[in-house]
Structure 1
Amino acid sequence: MDSSLPSGISQAWAALGADSSLLDRVSYGGSSGGLPARLPVMELARATVAVCSLAAAELTSVRTRRPVPRVRVDDEAVATAFLSDRLVRVDGQAWSTFSPLSRFWRATDGWVRTHANYPHHRARLLAALGVPEDIGGNEADAVGRAIARLPALEVEERVYAAGGLAVAARSPEDWAASEQGVMVAGQPLLTMARIDEAPERMPGGGALPCAGLRVLDLTRVLAGPVATRTLALLGADVLRIDAPQLPESQEAHNDTGMGKRSTTLDLTAAADRKLFDELLETADVVVTGYRPGALERFGLTPEALAERRPGLVIAQLSAWGRYGPWHERRGFDSLVQVVTGIAELEGSPDSPGVLPAQALDHGTGYLLAAGVLRALTEQHRTGGTRLVRLALTQTAHWLVHGLTSVPGVDEGFDAEHRLTETDSPMGRLRHALSPVSYEGGPVNWARPPGLWGTDAPVWNGA
């Protein structure tokens, strides 16, 4: 292995249960000044992209029966990709990744962070704080006044009880001492398991590692869509499915919908459920990113999926983990940063701080894709339905406690080198190229994103 290879790559590759000798295939370089932070964010970004690239190279080797291609991780490409949601443009127009009500607020005894990007989360936040929805331009002021009168933990509990999203800022020590924090610290970075003895049934090899594979994408911003966007780059037929009653941002889809198709199905409606079941009958991978319990009520547990479609790869992502008192809570990267103490570590005595990118989302997304790719490799060798699980809090714990920064020279950072443009149904789309790269691998997606939710609920060629 390259003696200068960051240790984070070794840690993540070991968590994936992979052959450590393959790390010899990895090298890295490029300008590393794109994600400045006190915590080792660049190391997390580099490591997660590296193991995803190596997992893709390994699967390519298994399917083509050729040597594992070499992987070159470029720091400039990695940093650009971790900022992809902020760099995407349509006809030159940018979009705001956070709404005016998604921010930090002063409470009586500390700080609160809210998330209200979606209309239903905004409505629940306002209801929990007693702020009328039709208050107009004074909405943010009213929310600020309401929070300023309450202790931070009371705001958190009120808003969560109403189905909204707000968290009290905690120190790393407070989080580590909490019941959920203790349980997170006892978990590995990710888990991979074989849950039955189904025979191997991967389709014949192709030029790309995921060629011929069908992926049901049941995820929402941001980590899950990053993972499935990567599987689409590698040749999978990815069909994203959302509930029609849950709105999605077209602007977010412009970034994470690369290479995919998108449709809506209401799983509570008999006709739509039948369409979903027909898709599942020939799926190879199912990726879920909803909070635990949200999809289980539809009978979509790993055990039920394995019984209906033996040999699946099932990948599950959550914010807080599928255990402990917080396991059913909604969550996003920005909130996990605040609860786990990252905001304090990146902040100042006067105010909390943030990471330079949604690094927990992006990093977990590449780890999730790597987990799927490694599960496919192991399934090709020995069969079995495979289960991969990750959580944003586990990635956060790794960032704070498991990684160290690698010294290097800051040579500057120019994202323009890693951006490209293409025509799309929305207009001229500028987007980041994928940082996942190996010798002979794809450079760009086969298709741009489309209008969210407008594709037919069928597989390509069906």
Structure 2
Amino acid sequence: MHSAVMTDIEFAWSELGGDPALLARVSTVVREGALTARLPVRELARACVGVCALAGAELAARRAGLVEVPRVRVDDGAVATAFVSERHLLIDGREPVTFAPLSRFWRTADGWVRTHANYPHHRERLLRALGLSDEDPASVETALGERSALEVEEAVYAAGGLAVALRTPEEWAAHEQAAEIARRPLVESERPDTARARVLPPLDGTPLLPAAGLRVLDLTRVIAGPVATRTLALLGADVLRVDAPHLPELPDQHADTGFGKRSATLDLATDRRMFEELLARADVVVTGYRPGTLDRFGLSPEALAERRPGLVVAQLSAWGAYGPWGGRRGFDSLVQVATGIAATEGTAERPGALPAQALDHGTGYLLAAAVLRALTEQSSEGYGRVLRVALARTAAWLTGGVRSDEGAAGAAYDGPEAWLTEADSGIGRVRYALPPVSFDGGPADWARPPGPWGADRARWAG
């Protein structure tokens, strides 16, 4: 394995608390031209997927009583294809809808901002902050051009919308939120209780499914959280995604990250007893809402851990659940703009973007890896776990820690075709990217395709 490749995987594995001896079980297939960027995106993606696969293989070995942990193979082609899975999705031949017209870069009086308005409620708040009654892009462009970038950022956030001013890496490094992030590990892990060791039933049959029999309550939206739970579903978990009925998900986005899962809707204000019944039998709870959003329902990570000793609670956020931006909404594209990535991939005068929403996908695989490692540790040590990851923390690793292996010998990435497949589903014929998480004896695909949003009953499979 190339030394730089090993260094990145070593770092991520150490942040997860993994045994360094197991890194010898990982091999990589380097492919030139995969996820090409100025920043080492390919290397970050490979490391995130690699440690996730290794964490799955480790848990599989523990549950199956294997002498050795299965070998892990990370192929840049599979990783690169999966990191843009939302672009490869076809439903009955139709290409997906990704960004809405008002989700883009805009010039301001002194620079640039990027807005996110894919969801109707975010679009309405953006327009309200700008004093506009219609969503004509020309009107938005005029309104933004009359204000400074920081003024737009503050006004839109105050209205509950999303807009972030373009910052250079130096400007972000001077920001208080960046300083808070720099003090945190890539993956935060706490042991909030003294629960006994978790007894997981032994695995039998093929493929090896390290998360088989585990119930995962999925309270996430957009990409990173759903990628994590989609991965846990691949590895055998019963994943039930629960959404509020008044906040419907974007159909294509839900389809892309819905493989292996079931989807239900519950109103916490009126269906609380049903939700509590689900929670009482959950082994893992994954949350992806803005920090503080679930607190008013008594569902903060700390409250969940206190009520359910032994529970694994995994929290994803954009900016981290701390610091002056700890309560802010955020998405991958906006984190790229704030942290200097957009300026690095382009310039301060003409911002660019990563070749994939790599912060989302990378953080999703890291979160899945953290859950799998927590389950392995619990099987011998006990204790519940509260795990935290943040897109901005992953961005800090990408911009200041991941090493480029440019020049490493490898095959060419000739396109995604080898890692795409098709299946019939409840929403039509789907073409999709195969999972990049792979180890000997493990699953090659999800057990079920995605279904319509909210179409399943709010109950566990067994």
Cα displacement (A) at 1:192? 1.4
Specify the alignment match of 2:389 in structure 1: 390
Say which SS state the counterpart of residue 412 (structure 2) adopts.
coil
Name 1:57's counterpart in structure 2.
Answer: 57
Which stretch shifts more, 58-67 or 343-352? Answer: 343-352
Q: Confirm or deny that 1:368 pairs with 2:367.
A: yes
Cα distance change, pair 439–29 in 1 and its aligned pair in 2 (3 A): same
Give the gaps of 5 or more residues in structure 1: none
* Contact 1:32–1:42 (CA under 8 A) maintained in structure 2: no
Once the 2 structures are TM-superposed, how far is the Cα of residue 30 of structure 1 from its aligned partner? 4.5
Q: Does 1:352 align with 2:351?
A: yes
SS in 1 for 2:438: coil
Once the two structures are TM-superposed, the CA of residue 202 in structure 1 deviates from its matched residue by: 3.6
Task: State the Cα distance separating 1:9 from its structure 2 match.
Answer: 0.3
CA distance in 2, matches of 1:106, 1:205: 58
- Equivalent pair of 1:37/1:356 in contact (CA under 8 Å): yes
Name the structure 2 match of 1:38. Answer: 38
* TM-score for both structures, normalised by structure 2: 0.97
Shift in Å at residue 34 of structure 1? 2.2
In 2: Cα distance, 1:56 partner to 1:327 partner: 30
* Alpha-carbon offset, residue 121 of structure 1: 0.3
Structure 2, unaligned runs of 5 or more: none
Task: After TM superposition, give the deviation of residue 287 of structure 1 in Å.
Answer: 0.3
On the 8 A contact 2:166/2:348 being kept in 1, the answer is: no
For 2:78, the equivalent position in structure 1 comes to: 77
Cα distance in 2 for residues equivalent to 1:188 and 1:365? 16
Query: Which residue of the partner structure matches residue 172 of structure 1?
Result: 169
1:207-246 mapped onto 2 (5 Å cutoff): 207-246=208-247
Q: Normalising by the residue count of structure 1, what TM-score does the alignment of the two structures yield? A: 0.97
The alignment's C-alpha RMSD in Å is: 1.2
Contact 1:2 1:26 in 2 (8 A): no
Whether 2:292 is the aligned partner of 1:290: answer no
Question: Partner amino acid for 2:283?
Answer: D
How far has the Cα of 1:4 moved from its partner? Answer: 6.5
Do 1:88 and 1:255's aligned partners in 2 also have CA atoms closer than 8 Å?
yes
1:199 is displaced (CA, Å) by 1.0
Partner of 1:129: 130
| Residue type of the alignment partner of 1:231 | L
Please name the residue that 1:400 is paired with.
Answer: 399
* Aligned equivalents of 1:306, 1:390: Cα separation in 2: 17
Deviation of 1:414 after TM superposition, in Å, equals 1.5
Greater CA deviation, 187-196 or 302-311?
302-311
Give the match's secondary structure for 2:125.
helix
SS in 2 for 1:315: strand
Which residue number corresponds to residue 98 of structure 2? 97
Query: Mean Cα displacement is larger for which, 408-417 or 237-246?
Result: 408-417
Q: Which stretch of structure 1 is more off in the superposition, 203-212 or 169-178?
A: 203-212
How many angstroms does 1:186 deviate by?
1.5
Q: Are residue 320 (structure 1) and residue 323 (structure 2) matched?
A: no
Q: Spell out, residue by residue over 1:134-178, the C-alpha distance to the aligned partner (whole angstroms, 9 max, x if none).
A: x6xxx1000000000000000001100000000100011111101
- Once the two structures are overlaid, the 10-residue window that deviates more, 404-413 or 111-120, is 404-413
Give the structure 1 partner of residue 121 of structure 2.
Answer: 120
Cα deviations across residues 324-374 of structure 1 (Å, max 9, x unaligned)? 100000000000000000000000364100000000000000000000000
**Amino acid of the residue matched to residue 196 of structure 2?**
P
Partner of 2:428: 427
Report the counterpart of residue 300 of structure 2 in structure 1: 301
3-state SS of paired residue (1:6): helix
The aligned amino acid for 1:447 is R
> What secondary structure does 1:317 align onto?
strand
Matched position secondary structure for 2:388 = strand
Aligned to 1:153: 150
Percentage identity across aligned positions? 64
Give the C-alpha shift of residue 250 in structure 1.
Answer: 1.1
Partner of 1:184: 181
Contact 2:259 / 2:448 at 8 angstroms: preserved in 1?
yes
On the 8 A contact 2:77/2:413 being kept in 1, the answer is: no
- Distance in 2 (CA, whole Å) between partners of 1:4 and 1:276 is 46
Contact 2:5 2:405 in 1 (8 A): no
CA contact (8 A) 2:336 2:395 kept: yes
1:280-326 CA-to-partner distances (Å, cap 9, x unmatched) read: 11110000001110011111123321232221111000000011100
2 CA distance for matches of 1:426 and 1:457? 20
Q: Which residue does 1:337 correspond to in 2? A: 336
183-192 or 155-164: bigger deviation? 183-192
> What is the DSSP-based 3-state SS (H/G/I as helix, E as strand, rest coil) of the residue aligned with 2:138?
helix
